[in-house]
Amino acid sequence: MNPPRAAVLPGWHCAACGRQVRKDDRVCSHCGARLVQPAPWHEQPVWIAVLILTLLGALGIPLIWRSRQLSRPAKWLFTLATILYTLIIILLLVWISILLWEHLQAFQMQMNDLGM
């Protein structure tokens, strides 16, 4: 006796013919095309870029290398871009800190000149 097959779930369609397929199918029963499971959101290049640019910076590099959707050259390119982006952010933060420190020093000198 054959084991019961998974029910057809809404949203699972063959990319080749567009017909509904079962979640556990490896091949479309209608056209015979091989079915590929969608990659998790955290392995998709767009989401990797969003996370790196908004939250993670260089801490996002492991996400790049775990992604199965990126080729090896693309992983290197993403990694180098992430390192450069992180260095630019660090340099900007240092520059802003120096400017703020200089303004604070000038303000303190003005306050001292006024006798406060």
Distance in angstroms (rounded) separating the CA atoms of residues 116 and 5: 82
Question: In the prediction, which pLDDT does 8 show?
Answer: 42
Question: In the prediction, which pLDDT does 6 show?
Answer: 41
Question: In the prediction, which pLDDT does 59 show?
Answer: 81
Question: In the prediction, which pLDDT does 71 show?
Answer: 92
Are 16 and 31 in contact, with CB atoms under 8 Å apart? yes
CB atoms within 10 A of CB 105: 10
Question: In the prediction, which pLDDT does 2 show?
Answer: 47
Q: DSSP code of 77? A: H
Rounded to the nearest 5°, which phi and psi values hold at 73?
-60, -35
What residues of the chain score a pLDDT lower than 50?
1-10
